[in-house]
């Protein structure tokens, strides 16, 4: 069953019932733990303008959503520099260094994240971060958010056979946690990430952090939320909590 972010909380209650007992919660990082896309967009915008990309016209938010957001750097390099992939890979490495500088100064958690963290810890659930970001980025963001001790595993797309939108990173995380895809949930904010989770056989709760709701729904999340304070999320979690007791 799929439920949009604008649908009622009651509809979402039944959508997680089949997961009991819940064993694990998996999170994407960029846009899911923190609203980092504006920092990525700014870094790409500045650096692409410096090299005269697009005739020197800064890339807009729609270009960023269509070609960059949620994608692995190998794919971004091919999109931006189709005739010179090595240059593209070097460019994305340099861009990540700029992003880390910005993130070390400006990163903030998605609303309600620490409330959800406490619920997960109180439930004794396993947890992992699963990302297409470079490991240095992921570890920086997780550390800045105070979550280094929270996650029991951090899985990076480039360290798997295939990155998202393939299911490999999520399947690897489940294996590391020794958890079943039938008793786990995923939080994601991008179409490619939602597709990866769905392909792994795990219900995905999508966050409407930056990506348009209609694009997220095309990837078939279980339902969408605005942030971790969304009443739809807590209605669903309360239902799970009741079934555990």
Q: From its phi and psi, is residue 77 left (phi > 0), alpha (psi between -120 and 50) or beta?
A: alpha
Give yes or no: 30 in active site: yes
Q: Would you call the peptide bond into 165 cis, given omega within 30 degrees of 0 as the criterion? A: yes
Asked if 221 and 205 touch (Cβ cutoff 8 Å), the reply is yes
- Cα separation, 160 vs 169, whole angstroms: 6
* Catalytic residue selected from 7, 11, 28, 93: 28
CB atoms within 10 A of CB 21: 11
Residues 34, 25: Cα–Cα separation, whole Å: 16
Would you say 123 and 244 are in contact if contact means Cβ atoms under 8 Å apart? yes
Backbone φ, ψ for residue 51 (5° rounding): -100, 10
Q: Choose the catalytic residue: 7, 11, 30, 84.
A: 30
Active site (annotated) includes residue 230: no
The CB density around residue 202, as the number of other CB atoms within 10 Å, is 26
30 phi and psi angles, rounded to 5 deg: -60, 125
Give dist(CA 129, CA 77) in Å, integer.
24
Catalogue the active-site residues: 28, 30
């Amino acid at each position: 069953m799929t439920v949009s972010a604008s649908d009622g909380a009651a509809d979402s209650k039944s959508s997680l019932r089949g997961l009991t007992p819940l064993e694990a919660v998996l999170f994407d990082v960029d846009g899911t733990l923190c609203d980092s896309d504006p920092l990525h967009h700014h870094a790409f915008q500045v650096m692409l303008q410096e090299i005269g990309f697009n005739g020197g016209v800064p890339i807009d938010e729609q270009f960023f959503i269509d070609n960059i957001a949620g994608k692995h750097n190998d794919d971004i390099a091919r999109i931006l520099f189709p005739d010179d992939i090595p240059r593209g890979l070097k460019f994305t490495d340099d861009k990540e260094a700029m992003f880390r500088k910005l993130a070390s100064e400006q990163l903030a958690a998605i609303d309600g994240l620490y409330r959800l963290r406490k619920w997960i810890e109180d439930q004794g659930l396993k947890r992992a971060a699963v990302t297409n970001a470079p490991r240095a980025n992921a570890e920086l963001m997780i550390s800045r958010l105070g979550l280094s001790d929270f996650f029991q595993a951090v899985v990076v797309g480039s360290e798997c056979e295939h990155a998202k939108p393939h299911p490999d990173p999520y399947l690897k995380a489940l294996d590391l946690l020794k958890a079943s895809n039938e008793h786990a949930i995923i939080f994601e904010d991008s179409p490619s990430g939602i597709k990866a989770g769905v392909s792994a056989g795990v219900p995905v709760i999508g966050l409407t952090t930056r990506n348009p709701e209609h694009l997220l729904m095309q990837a078939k999340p279980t339902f969408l939320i605005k942030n971790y304070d969304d009443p739809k999320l807590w209605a669903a979690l309360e239902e799970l909590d009741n079934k555990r007791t």
